[in-house]
Amino acid sequence: MISLAAFPIITKWPAQHPERLQLYSLATPNGVKVSIMLEEVGLAYEAHKVSFDTQDQLSPEFLSLNPNNKIPAIIDPNGPGGEPLALFESGAILIYLAEKTGQLLPQAPAARYETLQWLMFQMAGIGPMFGQVGFFNKFAGKAYEDKRPRDRYAAEARRLLGVLEKHLLGRTWIMGDEYSIADIATFPWIRNLIGFYESGDLVGITDFPNVLRALDGFVARPAVIRGLNIPS
């Protein structure tokens, strides 16, 4: 039996199935990247909700797993060499799970690096910029009388959507016909921008039909439907 007793986080979120991959997350755009990935590749896992309402992410137990106090994070009891592996950062987790399962990341070197390129595009651009749009359009920033910060981030979000729109012309997914971790990273953020952040009109989302088409295909996938609600 694999023991996870060495990980302090287990004291706050006990593992009912310690032989399974342990996911510590919340159903945010970054969080659902990993739950969707796990549903897509079919790995057995156990999900634990890290509640922002009670500041679970700042607890000593969670910080022992991710000192950067962000979700998601995982412990794989069957990591490299059969040893447990703790990992944080959603992009790193996607790469790890793709390599562990041999799924959703091309094996051919050129296609592999192109996929990682678009994964980094999401992590460095889409995620941070869309998050700022959400702050200034829906959360505390919406009360600011000066709308220049909001408009700056909305313009950058629109620019990033334009890059993706052009790239998706004639393509089903970011990598063409093959669905990949680049899609899993990107489309939860676009969905959030339009839905939860209520910013579709602000960025002119209807000007990006290729993005909307791919988004529709993404949210219709059974694994995505499941993963978007994990942890419940």
User: What pLDDT digit, counting tens, does each position of 152-203 carry?
Assistant: 999 999 999 999 999 999 999 999 999 999 999 999 999 999 999 999 999 9
Among residues of the chain, what percentage have pLDDT more than 90? 98
Most distant CA pair in the chain: distance in Å? 59
User: Is residue 232 a part of any domain in this protein?
Assistant: no
Q: Are residues 114 and 75 in the same domain?
A: no
21 and 44 in contact (C-beta within 8 Å)?
yes
Q: Are residues 114 and 78 in the same domain?
A: no
Question: pLDDT averaged over the chain?
Answer: 97
Q: Are residues 89 and 194 in the same domain?
A: no
For the stretch 71-108, pLDDT in tens is: 999 999 999 999 999 999 999 999 999 999 999 999 99
- Bridge partners of 88? 73
Please state the rounded mean pLDDT for residues 197-212.
98
pTM recorded for the entire structure: 0.97
Q: Band the pLDDT of 1: cuts 50, 70, 90.
A: very low
Q: Band the pLDDT of 3: cuts 50, 70, 90.
A: confident
For the stretch 123-134, pLDDT in tens is: 999 999 999 999
Does residue 232 register a pLDDT over 90?
no
Q: Which residue do the tokens 């000192």 mark?
A: 67
3 state DSSP class of 229: coil
The two three-digit tokens of residue 216, written as one number: 């529709």
Computed on alpha carbons and rounded to an integer, the radius of gyration of the chain in Å comes to: 18
Q: Are residues 123 and 209 in the same domain?
A: yes
What confidence score (pLDDT) does residue 11 get? 97
Q: Are residues 90 and 126 in the same domain?
A: no
Q: Which residue do the tokens 């009912």 mark?
A: 16
Domain membership of residue 82 as a residue range? 9-101
